[in-house]
Amino acid sequence: MLDPATVKGFLDPVEGEALAALAREAGRLGPVLEIGSYCGKSALYLGPAAREAGSVLYTLDHHRGSEEHQAGEEYHDPELFNAELGAVETLPALRETLFRGGLEDCVIPVVGRSAIVAAHWTTPLGMVFIDGGHSMDAALADYEGWTGRIVAGGILAIHDVFPDPADGGRPPYEIWKLAVASGLYDTVNRVGTLEVLRRRA
């Protein structure tokens, strides 16, 4: 297996292992979807787990970078910036990760905006992992677009949830609160900054 530490990204290994365990279970109920592919670090955990469950991982991203990845922002990476286009471009990095990791049989990249893809999506999902843009508009679109696609007993996992505003941005925390208040989910556990909920029957 390709070492996730060699791939650009922001997922803690403990969180990654937790995601893999969830996908092994929830993948039996339907495909797994992650929102926010970036360069494929999380796919290295989720892809093999989905394969073990007899399913696949759909990894969704527009590949132009989140707000914090743009030129001049805190997490901008010049190596992922296409100067000719004047735009962030992470799709080649993802495809390299999937190739080197031997995951092209179980990880399916979906390139597009989350809300647009969600509006045309019909396949029920065993698990949704939200780790896309951290603006309120982006996080809310991810939650509202995909929460209705999760089957009973399936998993909703949200990354970068910080209850204390001093620790990080608020939008993932706000959509987690929406999920808890919706009555649709039971809380499962928290691993690092990863909040896990299960869809009620």
Q: How far is CA 40 from CA 115, 176, 198, in A?
A: 21, 24, 25
pLDDT 10s digits, 38-95 = 999 999 999 999 999 999 999 999 998 777 777 777 677 777 888 788 788 999 999 9
Share of the chain above pLDDT 70, in %: 100
Phi-psi region of 36 (alpha: psi -120 to 50; beta: other; left: phi over 0): left
Query: In CATH, what number does 4-199 get?
Result: 3.40.50.150
> What integer pLDDT is reported at residue 48 of this predicted model?
98
Contact 146, 118 (CB under 8 A): yes
Q: Give the 3-state secondary structure percentages of the chain, helix then strand then coil, rounded to 5.
A: 40, 25, 40
The catalytic residues are: 134
pTM, two decimals, is 0.93
* CA 188/CA 38 separation, integer angstroms: 26
DSSP state at residue 92:
H
Task: Convert 167-192 to b/e letters by CB count within 10 Å (16 or more is b).
Answer: eebebbbebbebbeeeebbeeeeebe
Give the residue among 98, 103, 91, 115 at the shortest CA–CA distance from 35.
Answer: 115
* CA 139/CA 116 separation, integer angstroms: 14
* CA 154/CA 136 separation, integer angstroms: 24
pLDDT 10s digits, 100-122 = 999 999 999 999 999 999 999 99
Question: CA 116 from chain center: how many Å?
Answer: 16
pLDDT 10s digits, 8-41 = 998 999 999 999 999 999 999 999 999 999 999 9
